[in-house]
Structure 1
Amino acid sequence: MATTTYPRKPILISGAGLASLLLAQSLLGAQIPFLIFEKDASLSFRAQGYRLRLSAEGLDAIESVLGPKDFQTFWDRCGKTGGGGATAIDARTGLKKEFPQPPADEKPTNRVENLSSREGKIVGISRGDMRALFMKGCEAFVYFSHQVTGYELTDSGVRAVFADGSKSVEGEMLVGGEGIYSKVAKQVSGGKLKVYDTGARGIHGQAPSTAFKGLGEGVWVMRDESNPKGKMFVITNVRPGEMDDPDVQFGWTLGSQPGVIQVPNDDYSLVGKPAADIAKALTAEWDPKLRPLFTEMTEYEAAFWKITCSTPSGVPEWKNEPRVTVIGDAVHSMTPAGGIGANTAMRDSALLGKLLADAGGYKEGITEAYEKEMRIYGSEAVKSSYGMAKMQFGVVIDGNSNTV
């Protein structure tokens, strides 16, 4: 690939997901050169996934990177839903019900959390909007259609290795942020970083906001515990002021115990009408006020997904490589339970970005300092997410579990 002249070698970043782009914003603000390598052909190459709920920690991390002006733009794009937590509904009767709780002798990490994060509101934003906002100013430094499959260290830096065998320019440091299938994570950790297939499956979908009138404002969890195939749930965030506009769409996420949602060949890329038809069939006997979410759904937006999780005991130790580290799902993949994953990734980006900014760029000891602090909060987050998923989805990760 073409070389670029910089006053110093760039920080190389694998993947153009949320964590990578927020890290890039840190480097952009500190005038530290960087290059991003993304395997997809563009940001719109594939579906962006479900709407993200932002915790206080996640918002604080984003604000610390973007600064007051750009954070205000971000904040204005976020939706704000009233209420402090989620409301559970029996999907078949439409009646409110209590959330299941863990045994009394278990730590309360599995209990329903307060979802509000600022101004007494539950704050959320679509993954696509968030990614577009974080991309601002970074466009010239992103190389699309470049899949990183590993790296090689040099005498004075590191190069990313691509799927076609070519290599990047030499960088001062490489950050693996390419998600659960990260080759950088496997290489730098010597295989210690693993992502498990829990067996649980899900479908993302969306429908016109008018389909949600039967619910009204709030975060809702519809639970179907009498389906003969196994337990299912749907979670959605209904924002105020838009339920009369058919041009506005709200999203939902359907999840299930292992074995309930099945697609041909367990195809991770199944999207559109086939995925929509599965969701419609599974919810055909649900309460009439909930059915419009599925009967009126935008079929081409539906997408099947696998629920994965990193090692439940937390982020493992590996021999530190001063010039290579990992962020986001590449180092701590989590189930959707609790909405913890994206917020933890934001903390990674803010932490590593600050360390690099304070040093004016790469210096020895940065990756070690980052990993030491990240392992603490990252391990807590993985344990909590797995604990909630174990209770909600019936997933169990053990020595017989498959990795992805």
Structure 2
Amino acid sequence: MATPQKPILISGAGLSSLLLGQALLRASIPYQIFERDSSISFRAQGYRLRLSSEGLDAIEAVLGPEGFQTFWDTCGKTGGSGLQFLDAVTGLPTAAPGSDANDSKTEDRKPKGTVESLSSREGKTVGISRGDMRKLFMKGCEPFIQWSHNVTSYELTSSGVRAVFADGSKSVEGEMLVGGEGIYSKVARQLSQGKLKVYDTGARGIHGQAPSTAFKGLGEGVFIITDKSNPKGKVFIITNVRPGDMDDPNVQFGWTMGAEPGVIRAPNDDDSMIGVPAAEIAKAFTANWHPRLKPLFEKMAESEAAFWKITCSTPTGVPEWENEPRVTVIGDAAHSMTPAGGIGANTAVRDSALLGRLLAEACGYGSGVTAAYEKEMRVYAGEAVKTSYGLAKVQFGVHIDENSKTV
């Protein structure tokens, strides 16, 4: 009788981990996902994600025609004239950040050759909420997720690997471990021996959402709305207003507020805080904004407001570490990015598609799988981190180097 195949172990149940689970499911490769939260609804799901051509291609490659059609139908498609810039106080169009010829700092901060591309398919900007995306990726994976299991390290065995949890217990022996538990990944730290670093840029933001009817004053499009009048520093929001739903108060659109380092501060410096405290700070920052914009904050769902920390991996690229055939990392655990350009999630799903394909081709674990994955991942992810950081230097005014604080 053949020996049962040991599972692929996956730490974290975020987007990249769940999409990898979908790839393994389709390839009939056993796996187990360990998530520190107690359920999918344990905490706020964050902001709306903009999907690039590369991101959509990766998702389609994993889900297949039928699964991708369901995903595509859930996505919102926004037309309009591309990215639009508005002054928050006057409500009038303004120049793009970094394009002011009178700004003496512009040339120093402007990323060379960096352009934000919005359209991805059919000439539309395609977006989906993080929560909806996670639910779609989770479908079918539920039996293979173990909640309330916080992976803090791993140990190699003579024929596999085990995940070690916060309470000291260990997982079943797996063929391979994939660290996909985000910027605080203990797997990434152990694997890379500290070479994988996530820097705290010092900038903070707030996610919020409101009924779609609150966005009617903006109209269809993708907007960056900036307030330079705040004495503490520049504050801005990014929002995507799609057609078809603007008259339905039961549908909510989201916005993401960002600011220069030190401007937005969560009470007690608790960036994981959600609800009224975040909502009140967002309302205070926008008290003098133009009437066409005020409904976004006056009508916001206060319970869904959440602070967030803006982080970034080493901007020079994904570092190299000694390859361990049975352990690797994906998503934010491998390459954290700022929200500038909306690149992070698209890069994460590319990881899932690539690693899933390599595992499927090998019919499971193979000694060269992680090395092949990491070699290819470093190329596209390294470029993505550089682009994201370059855009954030202009949009957020951030700066990091090897002496900057890490998370």
Q: What is the Cα deviation at residue 109 of structure 1?
A: 3.4
Q: What is the Cα deviation at residue 61 of structure 1?
A: 0.1
RMSD, aligned CA: 1.4
Q: What is the Cα deviation at residue 6 of structure 1?
A: 7.6
Q: What is the Cα deviation at residue 176 of structure 1?
A: 0.1
Pairing partner for 2:296 from 288, 293, 297? 293
1:163 has 2:166 as partner: yes
1:17 has 2:14 as partner: yes
- 1:379 aligned partner: 382
State how 1:1-400 maps to structure 2 within 5 Å: 7-83=4-80, 85-101=82-98, 103=107, 108-111=112-115, 113-400=116-403
Q: What is the Cα deviation at residue 262 of structure 1?
A: 1.3
User: Aligned partners of 1:27, 1:52: CA distance in 2, in Å?
Assistant: 24
Q: What is the Cα deviation at residue 391 of structure 1?
A: 1.1
2:312, 2:337 within 8 Å by CA — same for their partners in 1?
A: yes
User: Aligned partners of 1:147, 1:299: CA distance in 2, in Å?
Assistant: 29
1:84, 1:115 within 8 Å by CA — same for their partners in 2?
A: no
Q: What is the Cα deviation at residue 153 of structure 1?
A: 0.1
User: Aligned partners of 2:191, 2:266: CA distance in 1, in Å?
Assistant: 34
Q: What is the Cα deviation at residue 330 of structure 1?
A: 0.3
User: Aligned partners of 1:75, 1:348: CA distance in 2, in Å?
Assistant: 20
Q: What is the Cα deviation at residue 32 of structure 1?
A: 0.3
1:84, 1:114 within 8 Å by CA — same for their partners in 2?
A: no
The answer to which of 101-110 and 130-139 deviates more is 101-110
Q: What is the Cα deviation at residue 84 of structure 1?
A: 5.5
Q: What is the Cα deviation at residue 263 of structure 1?
A: 2.0
Q: What is the Cα deviation at residue 265 of structure 1?
A: 2.1
Letter of the aligned partner of 1:110 in structure 2? T
User: Aligned partners of 2:31, 2:97: CA distance in 1, in Å?
Assistant: 46
Q: Counterpart of 1:222 in 2: which secondary structure?
A: strand
Q: Counterpart of 1:130 in 2: which secondary structure?
A: helix
User: Aligned partners of 1:271, 1:374: CA distance in 2, in Å?
Assistant: 33
Cα separation, partners in 2 of 1:105 and 1:265, compared to 1, 3 Å: closer
User: Aligned partners of 2:305, 2:111: CA distance in 1, in Å?
Assistant: 36
Q: What is the Cα deviation at residue 105 of structure 1?
A: 10
2:215, 2:241 within 8 Å by CA — same for their partners in 1?
A: yes
Question: Which consecutive unaligned segments of at least 5 residues does structure 1 have?
Answer: none
User: Aligned partners of 1:367, 1:108: CA distance in 2, in Å?
Assistant: 32
Q: What is the Cα deviation at residue 398 of structure 1?
A: 1.9
1:83, 1:116 within 8 Å by CA — same for their partners in 2?
A: no
Letter of the aligned partner of 1:103 in structure 2? E
Q: What is the Cα deviation at residue 136 of structure 1?
A: 1.0
Letter of the aligned partner of 1:166 in structure 2? S
User: Aligned partners of 1:338, 1:269: CA distance in 2, in Å?
Assistant: 23
User: Aligned partners of 1:117, 1:44: CA distance in 2, in Å?
Assistant: 30
Q: What is the Cα deviation at residue 226 of structure 1?
A: 2.1
Question: Which consecutive unaligned segments of at least 5 residues does structure 2 have?
Answer: 99-105
User: Aligned partners of 1:105, 1:148: CA distance in 2, in Å?
Assistant: 38
What TM-score do the two structures reach when normalised by structure 1?
0.97
Q: What is the Cα deviation at residue 104 of structure 1?
A: 9.1
Q: What is the Cα deviation at residue 106 of structure 1?
A: 5.9
The answer to which of 95-104 and 258-267 deviates more is 95-104
2:163, 2:170 within 8 Å by CA — same for their partners in 1?
A: yes
User: Aligned partners of 1:110, 1:264: CA distance in 2, in Å?
Assistant: 35
User: Aligned partners of 1:235, 1:386: CA distance in 2, in Å?
Assistant: 17
User: Aligned partners of 1:52, 1:108: CA distance in 2, in Å?
Assistant: 25
Cα separation, partners in 2 of 1:106 and 1:52, compared to 1, 3 Å: closer
2:109, 2:390 within 8 Å by CA — same for their partners in 1?
A: no
Letter of the aligned partner of 2:29 in structure 1? I
Q: Counterpart of 2:239 in 1: which secondary structure?
A: strand
Cα separation, partners in 2 of 1:210 and 1:24, compared to 1, 3 Å: same
Report the count of equivalent residues.
Answer: 399
